[in-house]
Chain A
């Protein structure tokens, strides 16, 4: 009976385990996890004491074994992983789903003093420390989640933004709209470049922002240590390089989710989207590849997120600055006030009218409209196919 070992019990690891349990019935499957699974996307409500843990019973019932330990080494020649407990597990196939850690930019002195917002203990810390003012470095979705959490515990959140809010997911005007809305809800913004983190303050462009809790939310660093030490090929020097099925430079080893590159649905080139959708679909592709299939579900650039007070952000494909960087000559259509949301833009290639991207900030959920656009982008449809009826075609 061949062995499949899955390293990591986050979303990617669980998805791989669930897929493998059904599609690889001949395999003995083990998942090695160093923390019990929980719904990371709901970390904000763990701050107010809600239970966000998740059961693995439905996967275990199909014969998958969960081992709560930590992998310290991959020995590729012996085809085994070594656990912290000293136990060694053989594999015929290995799936790395080791995820990522909050990034700590070296350009910010003392950044190691800032906490991340990634694990249950981070949520617990906010709950227990009951800060009165929380400084958040970065303008990512995680920064917005931390601001939500701060408000929930009665603290004042101040977001230190170097460029603009969630810039890879929103057109510039929409970042501004979102910021205005969040200001009304009590979030303070400081537009400055953070220079250093002290015990109770952040210094940014000469301004001192005092806070009793400082959080870094500048993005993530893929957890590549095991892969790098095992000699697997990297991409950009910071993520595990994989093909469209998730296969690494070692054909017996796959890497999925935050630890690896994915492929941009617009350019078809390697890209990085540290989002759950990608992790789940990469898990599916990897297990199908181990099964012998050559089929690939293309990974999307797709985000739907909700913030307090009924604020929604939607993104599919590329925003115009990214598209221009990728070499597209693009134009935009303002579709604000339509079925695509209160403030929204569609981006398309000027010459071919091919749909490239969509982003929206809205006070209402636009239901299936965002996913319709995401599919239209992946299918390379024309902008004219998706324009609302009251916008000129």
Chain B
């Protein structure tokens, strides 16, 4: 019989700043407010991942699907 063990489910919400065009669609669809649109020093709008996003994330991946430039990627690991 296997031994009981600690199970870790890590979710990492990422935005590739180089790909992001700041359209705000990820911020619009995410039901748990994992994104916010900020203005960078160069004046460009970009999506930024909010604190605690991994814990809140439903892993629905709607942000990945709606992002027009594939800037948003959800990494999920279960160990």
Contacts and interface: CB of A to CB of B under 8 A. Distances in A.
Nearest to B32: A54
B26 to A, nearest CB: 11
Contacts, number: 129
A39 B5 CA distance: 21
A45 B9 contact: yes
B5 A152 contact: yes
B61 A277 contact: yes
Q: Size range of the interface on A?
A: 35 or more
B3 A310 contact: no
Interface residues of B, number: 35
Given A19-B28, A148-B7, A371-B65, A306 B58 contact: no
A42 B7 CA distance: 11
Nearest to A375: B70
B23 interface: no
B79 A302 contact: no
Interface string B38-79: 000000000000000000111111101111001001111111
A304 B76 contact: yes
A186 interface: yes
Given A276-B61, A277-B60, A306-B78, A48 B31 contact: no
Contacts of A17: 31
B78 A308 contact: yes
A212 to B, nearest CB: 12
Interface in A280-326: 280-281, 283-284, 297, 300, 302, 304-310
A58 B4 contact: no
Given A39-B59, A277-B65, A152 B76 contact: no
Interface in B1-49: 1-9, 16, 28-33
A371 B68 CA distance: 11
Contact of B31 (A15, A132, A156, A374): A15
A285 to B, nearest CB: 10
A137 B48 CA distance: 42
Contact of A153 (B4, B73, B75): B4
Contact of B1 (A48, A155, A309): A155
Interface string A351-377: 000000000000001011001101100
Interface string A1-44: 00000000001001101110010000000000000000111101
A245 to B, nearest CB: 15
A279 interface: yes
Contact of A132 (B1, B65, B66, B76): B1
A214 interface: no
Contacts of B77: 306, 310, 365
A152 B4 contact: yes
A154 interface: yes
B62 to A, nearest CB: 4
Contacts of B64: 302, 371
B78 A371 contact: no
A310 B74 CA distance: 15
A11 B7 contact: no
A308 B56 contact: no
A19 B58 CA distance: 16
4 closest A-B pairs by beta carbon, nearest first, are A276-B60, A154-B4, A280-B62, A15-B31
Given A15-B60, A280-B31, A284-B29, 9 more contacts: A44-B7, A47-B7, A54-B32, A152-B7, A156-B2, A275-B60, A279-B60, A368-B70, A374-B65
Interface of B: 1-9, 16, 28-33, 56-62, 64-67, 70, 73-79
21 contacts: A17-B31, A18-B31, A18-B32, A39-B58, A42-B9, A44-B9, A48-B7, A58-B32, A132-B1, A148-B7, A148-B78, A152-B6, A154-B4, A276-B59, A276-B60, A276-B61, A279-B60, A302-B61, A302-B64, A307-B78, A310-B77
